[in-house]
Structure 1
């Protein structure tokens, strides 16, 4: 298994994001409980107006499997994720290092 950093960029709709956030976090808690999600958290909007998003660190066999873990995320289901990407990450220092 490999570690992947996944980024979300959210649509600019604070009210809808806030409405779905509790279900989104419950979904992520379940993934964490299964051991697939190591950590996640929001990326606040940038000062220049870049929309907010999220950073999620997951463990999976490959990039496709990493993204598949998040296919049923309520934020994605409700079309609040404008874009997402996954990239393998090789931590060498800290809690995720191998």
Structure 2
């Protein structure tokens, strides 16, 4: 399994819709955290552009793209930009099981 860093960027006008869909988004993330595919995730700070960083494991980038397309935030058009990059962890690999 490879490790991937995923960056979500939200549109500035999506906050009300994100609040509406957040319970299903959190359920989606929790399910994949429980099965150890999602390793870390969280939103950026209040002074940053709205978005989040997520660290995933997957066999391929294409597999992860397909999975992320099922995120309720993605399904409902709340992610303005999504970047998926394979990440070769050097320091701290044991902390995330890489």
- Calculate the TM-score normalised by the size of structure 1: 0.86
**Could you report, residue by residue, the CA deviation over 1:17-62 in whole angstroms, capped at 9, with x for unpaired residues?**
1111121011100011122111111123655xxx311111110112
- The CA RMSD measured in Å over matched residues stands at 1.6
Distance in 1 (CA, whole Å) between partners of 2:78 and 2:46 is: 14
Native 8 Å contact 1:91 1:97 kept in 2: no
Per-residue deviation, 1:96:
2.5
Unaligned runs of 5+ in 1: none
What is the number of residues matched between the two proteins? 95
Unaligned runs of 5+ in 2: none
Distance in 1 (CA, whole Å) between partners of 2:57 and 2:72 is: 20
After TM superposition, the runs of 4+ consecutive aligned structure 1 residues lying more than 3 A away are 44-47
Native 8 Å contact 1:40 1:55 kept in 2: yes
